[in-house]
Each structure stands twice: as C-alpha cells, then as structure tokens.
Structure 1
C-alpha cells in the first residue's frame, strides 16, 4: 500500500529501477546469507528440496515446447515458463508452514526455499533475461547474480559450522529485513501502474492452471507412490502451491521483461490463492 501511494504521489520522481538495483544487488544477498546461516543443516532435511527440484525441473522441461506453441512473444513466454513455477516459498511459505505444521516445519521450508533460490537465480534469471538479451549475455547475467554467490557462501559457512559474531549477525538481519520491506514496496510501486490492459488473461489462465492444479496434482500423485514421510510431503505440497513470488517482479523489471504484466499476474494469483487454499488444503491435508 505504501509503495503504491508513494508512486501515485511522487510519480516520475520515484525511480523504481534504482530500488530494484539496491534490492537485487545489495539487500537480497543479505537476506539469502542470513536465512541460510541462522540454523545448522540436518542431513534428513535434504529430501524435501531434492524432490522440489525434481518436480520443478521436470515441469519446466515439459513446459518448454508448450510455451513456444502458446506464446510467440519471447517475453510472455519467459513469464509463462518461470512464474508458473516460482512460488513465494519464503515470505509466505515459511510463516504459513509454521501456522499449519508448527515450528518443526521450518528446517524443511527453509531448505525448499533454498532450492527455489537456486532455481530462480539460475534458470529463472536466464529465461527472464533471454527476453531481451542473447544467450551469452543471459548466461553472464546469471553469473553476475550476487544472490547465487551469497547462497553458496552461506552453505559453505553452515557446513563448516563457522560461528558468525553476534554483531555481524545483527547487521545481516537488518539487511535481510530491509530486503523484504523494499521488495514489498517495489511490488506496490509496480502494482500502482497496472491497468486492466496489463492483465494478459491467457497468461493468467495458463499460469494459474499449472501453478494451482497441474503442479500440485501431479506432485501429489507422484509423492503418494514414494516412501517420503507424509509430513514432509505435506510441507512440500504446501510450498508448491504458494502464489507467485514477488521475485518474479524484481527480475522482470531488472531485465525489462514486462514487469507490469508480471505484477498484475502476481496480484491476481495471490487473490485467487486466498480462496483456493482455504478450500483445497483441508481436502488434501
């Protein structure tokens, strides 16, 4: 709300691209590093993120030819391919897991979010970038993502059990919280510029179909045939059906890939999620 009001009031004086650069290249690495070093990893929590990546990458492979048939525009195709799969596994998924399953879900939701971070900062960045850049330039854009290197550094610190001094940990926490605030402000700024004509109903229908029905439906059938614990499977399914992440808006804006369309898509799917989750979760769970 504050982001929208600020944009309406200051108009062109408020340059959202500056905030995007600050968020992606400065603050989000704080969030990633802080989130992955707050608690030690346990060996049995790796099952959830491995299954998450298997499911998401399998769907991505299947969606490639479908995207080419449905969307001739490269930017819309990029939005279709990534936004259908990148959910809000952190800002929504982690607290939602606590509300439904309790604190014991946090290690699993944190690791699933880690898998999501790697997916969106590699394949996601490449696909969003490919709407405007060559394959070589898109690959370089992936390599230049500080969030990816921040996550790798955090994993090394965690595995080596390096103790971070409290003063440094507090600064990491400040940067992490600031990142969340900036992301939400940016979402409001882009949302304030969205008009009805920015809602691509083909994108809404196809992304919604995959995100809320095909992805969780196929995953549920697949997981039922495995030996995965029901608790872990439930947490995984919950993370898979979270609505589109605001990170989609960040990367779409960073690489000039129709950010207003993406903001509209995030907003519409988030509203739908409120009703959808209230109806579907008691049945599935």
Structure 2
C-alpha cells in the first residue's frame, strides 16, 4: 500500500487476545500506521483530548458502554470510526452505520486481516466527504452572496436548494421548499417555457439563457440554466437556476428605443419639411421669373 504519511489510529478493545492480534496485523504496516491501544471508553476519550488521530477502531461491546458512543467523538474531531462486531451481528453493524460509523468489521481472523485496508479506505472516503462538504458550503455561501435568486432543481424540476432571496420571493420557508415542484410556484405560461428550456439544458449540457416577463409579479427576469454533472459519470442530473430581475434594464432599454423611434420620426418629418420647403421655394422662384 502506498502511503504519503503515517496514520495515527486509536484502538479501543478490552479483549487482550483480539487487541494483540490487531496490533500484530498492523505491525506489518509500521510505515503507514501507528496504533494506540486502550481498553475503555474513558481511556479513549482521555487520549482523544491529548492526541490527534486519523481514525478510531472500537469494539462494539466494551466494559463501560459500547463502541457506538465513540462515533460522536469521531464526528466532533472529523475522523472516521470503524466498529468491530461479533461474527453474525449484522443488525448491530447496520445500526452502527446508521448512527454514523464509517465501516464495520466482524471479529473473525479472516476479516481482521483486512483491517489495514478497511481503515485506509475509510480515512480516504471520510476526507473526500469532508472536502466535498467544504466545497459545497463555499458554493452555497457564494450563491447566498449573489444579488439574484438562485436555486437547484433535479430532473423532475423539484427544488433541492433555494437561496434566502429566492425563498423570500416565493414566500416559502426553507423547510417547506425542498422536494416542491417548479410549477407549484410559477404560472402555467412560465412553467411551459421553463420546461422547454430545462429540457434543452439537460440534453445539451450547455448553459441556457433567456428573458421572461413574470406577469404575476410584474417583473422581467433573465434566467440562466446551468447544468450540473454528477461525478464520476458527469451525467447531467441537476440544474442551477440563476434568475436576475432586469426590469430596470428593460425599462431603460424601452425608453431608449422609444427615444430612438421619436428621433427617427422627427428626422423623417424634418426631411419631409425640407423637401416641401424646397418645392415651395422652387415654385416661388419659378413664378417670380415668369412675366
């Protein structure tokens, strides 16, 4: 196994025979792992306060409680917890995963020899999830800071997320908008146009921009439909919709076009007057020359 740095692992196991076996297994990977062994939850908590660990391996059954109590400690410190269970204790394993364990290993000799690989995989998956969470938080903070309405829809056009500005505009609480469909908040005309544009964005994978007049709110909106691919396949599964109120710009554009139209009409009238004036002068000149 290739390792960039040594992992500090906390082992919480009260059965000495099992603990010795696990320590012997990890001794083959001295360059990759350093194991600290304790027998009780109290000892584990004390050690967690004093040291930084990359992961916790904890037996389910311990003298003063069970290993599930350490899952919360792992979450506090952003490290994964792997639970050791008796062979055949699948229900306990499922419970551990539901509570937040990164993985579990039955306490059979064959399975225990997989521990180094399981721990490394759990650490990598945990760190990847933390990085993804960090990026998502930064992404949502960026959306919230934008001076526009933004939301994310799935392929069924159901809301997965909406910024505060978007929810204020739709007049709905944060806990009520998730899984609601686009057409529940928008007119039939708006929904019809949006569905066509959304289909185009999903199929092409390209950003679609269009302007729309929202009659119900008396505003002009400029919408950008941004396809979001789902790693690792990059299949387009979501749309980030950014809506900007362009009413003032539209009004200014309308006024500008109106001014330009008036200027054209005025220019046309002036030219017509000059033409008529030229004709009148020509007629007068002709009459003056005629005896």
TM class by shorter-chain length? under 0.3
Choose between structure 1 and 2: higher strand proportion.
2
Q: Say which structure is richer in helix.
A: 1
Which protein is bigger by CA-based radius of gyration? Answer: 2
